[in-house]
Structure 1
Amino acid sequence: MSVDLKKTATNGHEKILIPQEQQGKINEMRKLIGPLSGKALVYCSDASIARYLRARNWNVKKAAKMLKQTLKWREEYKPEQIRWEDVAQEAETGKIYRSNYIDKHGRTVLVMRPARQNSKSTKGQIKYLVYCMENAILNLQQDQEQMVWLIDFQGFNMSHISIKVTRETAHVLQEHYPERLGLAILYNPPKIFEPFFTMVKPILETKTYNKVKFGYSEDQNTKKIMEDLFDLDHLESAFGGNDTTPFDINKYAERMKEDDKKIPSFWTRETSPSSVPIDVPSLDSIKLDTDSDASDNEKIVRSSDSVVDTGLVNPDQNSTNQEDLNASAAVH
């Protein structure tokens, strides 16, 4: 499968613009946003503005409104000022942490274990999530914008989740971290979780919902996909990998404290206005069977270098029927 980048096209309902068109939209956005300084100026790189534009299907006015709301939120919430000591209590069970490996596309991996929830505080949980997001972004490779979530449901029951926290989580991620999630794999979710997922679907934007896949340890298709996405020697055994090293809060705390030292330079760095990723189909474009126009052949994960068949189970089915698990094609 190839993509012609010489003309404006659509990817489902999402526009694909050539670089010159992208830059024109970005320039329009800058005019609407107005003069910036300090951390807001650093935040509003061309690449960042492009993410907001993609989130709003390249509608400049909608994207500008969204970005202005984020700038206001960042000024008030100050996510870049959160440090390990502020969230250490929330983190101590290992319910969310940044893994020490990346996927084969260079994306940061956040591991989540809802059964290890140790807090009733919505404010505390969201603050820790924001810290984890900021840390994941801090550690992204230079040519990568997105991350992967691996969600382990071992030991899970419905007491471990909250509609209120889920709603606030969706709001923060969708409104203030657009286009940062590339793929979320819900690993071995129990049957009791499926009604909950159906219930929260309305609060998820379609693009976010389409990035969520269910995977099962006994499913051969899932195993193949995990092999395609990760180095199994580094991937944790909970997700079918070979690493049996348990989470160590003390070692993780040291990693995070070292990362905290990088934050000041991150927010005083010089940005390159021209460094905007080409808007080709990417790893965030995952179709679910619940889409009316989706088919097995459309359930793919795309990267800037290749198109890789995901084959992971979606929330509305417990198995997959795809035969060509590793189909790929160059994006021209």
Structure 2
Amino acid sequence: MSYHFKTRSEATPPRTPASSEEQQRKIHEVRELLGDDLQTEMPSFLSNGTIRRFLRARNWNTEQATKAVKETIKWRRQYKPDEICWDDLADRENGARKAYLPDYLDKNGRKVFVTMVSMKTKTSGKEQIKHLVYYLENMSLNSEHGEDDNVVWICDFRGWTLSSTPLWESRESLYIIQNYYPGLIAAAIVSNPPKIFESFWKILKHFIEPAMHDKVKFVYTKNSESQRIMEDLFDLDKLESVFGGRNTSGLDIVKYADRMRRQDQFRGCCKNINVNTSST
């Protein structure tokens, strides 16, 4: 896949608030613009919550939101993200050490997504994008009743080098998050980036929309001021020690795999799943 990216200066203006009545009216307008065929094709995806997030991402402009939804539907037809299961992922056990969903929420009840950016895996960049999409699908569950901005994303940059994350992979990941899963990320924690990351960030930030850019927070475990950000967001008894928490237990891959397979069952994409119930 290749995409055209807007720089921050070309991006749409900040989102404006709307009353609940106006939100419902605009959701209805988008449904009318989409037509019955598309809504019949993807009824679970096209919930009111999903449409509302696309409207927010397009500053409540119904035509732009409809266009964005249609582009996402086209992508979902081709990529089929709702059909990706844990057992479809290449090198999934090692991949889970690089990107995973912890079994705790933040203090505001939001989901947490952790990526260990510099960790090496045997998978290709294409497979790592598939891994990301799998987690995005999991995090966007229950969109009808879920809150907007419902995920806190922690990125561990310890040991990062310019070869750790190719620019194309970062750009494509950002494109998918911002265009196909808008309104999902509440905060993006950039943890312990090395000095060399500054030059990479100067390039990358031009592909981040203003609304997302404002959610990025740089945190350093040896800096007391930035650590207060983590203390405000997380229960330190649950937060991993590498991020300044007190949890040193590490990831149990067997239990984690069972949890993700159960999640696949809930999503309705299981394929002869054998869940080890004794690990719960």
Shorter-chain TM band: 0.7 to 0.9
Cα separation, partners in 2 of 1:91 and 1:144, compared to 1, 3 Å: farther
Write the letter of the residue equivalent to 1:130: V
Write the letter of the residue equivalent to 1:106: G
Question: Residue 50 of structure 2 contacts residue 144 of structure 2 at CA under 8 Å; is this kept in 1?
Answer: no
Write the letter of the residue equivalent to 2:58: R
Runs (4+) off by over 6 Å: none
The answer on 1:121 being equivalent to 2:124 is yes
Aligned to 2:115: 112
1:50 Cα deviation after fit: 0.7
Aligned to 1:258: 262
- What is the rounded CA distance, in whole Å, between the counterparts of 1:22 and 1:68 in structure 2? 19
The correspondence for 1:71, drawn from 62, 70, 73, is 73
- What is the rounded CA distance, in whole Å, between the counterparts of 1:258 and 1:143 in structure 2? 20
Structure 2 alignment gaps of length 5 or more: 1-12, 271-280
Deviations 1:229-277 (A, max 9, x none): 11111111111111001223222212111211111199xxxxxxxxxxx
The answer on 1:84 being equivalent to 2:86 is yes
1:141 Cα deviation after fit: 11
Deviations 1:52-83 (A, max 9, x none): 00000011111100001111111221111101
Report the 3-state secondary structure (helix = DSSP H, G, I; strand = E; otherwise coil) of the residue aligned with 1:42.
Answer: coil
TM-align CA RMSD: 2.1
Q: Which has the higher helix share?
A: 2
- What is the rounded CA distance, in whole Å, between the counterparts of 2:236 and 2:90 in structure 1? 29
The correspondence for 1:136, drawn from 124, 136, 139, is 139
- What is the rounded CA distance, in whole Å, between the counterparts of 2:103 and 2:123 in structure 1? 28
Mean CA deviation greater in 140-149 or 157-166: 140-149
Cα separation, partners in 2 of 1:173 and 1:214, compared to 1, 3 Å: same
Aligned to 1:148: 152
Question: Residue 236 of structure 1 contacts residue 244 of structure 1 at CA under 8 Å; is this kept in 2?
Answer: yes
Aligned to 1:233: 237
Deviations 1:5-25 (A, max 9, x none): xxxxxxx83211111111111
- What is the rounded CA distance, in whole Å, between the counterparts of 1:164 and 1:153 in structure 2? 18
Describe how 1:200-239 pairs up with structure 2 within 5 A. Answer: 200-239=204-243
- What is the rounded CA distance, in whole Å, between the counterparts of 2:187 and 2:203 in structure 1? 20
- What is the rounded CA distance, in whole Å, between the counterparts of 2:222 and 2:131 in structure 1? 32
Report the 3-state secondary structure (helix = DSSP H, G, I; strand = E; otherwise coil) of the residue aligned with 1:23.
Answer: helix
Aligned to 1:173: 177
1:144 Cα deviation after fit: 2.9
The answer on 1:188 being equivalent to 2:189 is no
Question: Residue 49 of structure 2 contacts residue 144 of structure 2 at CA under 8 Å; is this kept in 1?
Answer: no
Q: TM-score, normalised by structure 1?
A: 0.72
Write the letter of the residue equivalent to 1:34: G
Write the letter of the residue equivalent to 1:171: Y
Write the letter of the residue equivalent to 2:181: Y
Cα separation, partners in 2 of 1:77 and 1:164, compared to 1, 3 Å: same
Aligned to 1:101: 104
1:124 Cα deviation after fit: 0.6
Aligned to 1:52: 54
1:207 Cα deviation after fit: 1.3
- What is the rounded CA distance, in whole Å, between the counterparts of 2:51 and 2:145 in structure 1? 17
Report the 3-state secondary structure (helix = DSSP H, G, I; strand = E; otherwise coil) of the residue aligned with 2:155.
Answer: strand
Describe how 1:296-315 pairs up with structure 2 within 5 A. Answer: none
Structure 1 alignment gaps of length 5 or more: 1-11, 267-332
Question: Residue 90 of structure 1 contacts residue 119 of structure 1 at CA under 8 Å; is this kept in 2?
Answer: no
Cα separation, partners in 2 of 1:107 and 1:140, compared to 1, 3 Å: farther
1:29 Cα deviation after fit: 0.6
Cα separation, partners in 2 of 1:265 and 1:257, compared to 1, 3 Å: closer
1:137 Cα deviation after fit: 2.5
1:167 Cα deviation after fit: 1.2
The answer on 1:160 being equivalent to 2:164 is yes
- What is the rounded CA distance, in whole Å, between the counterparts of 2:64 and 2:161 in structure 1? 39
Write the letter of the residue equivalent to 1:170: L
Q: TM-score, normalised by structure 2?
A: 0.85
- What is the rounded CA distance, in whole Å, between the counterparts of 1:237 and 1:132 in structure 2? 23
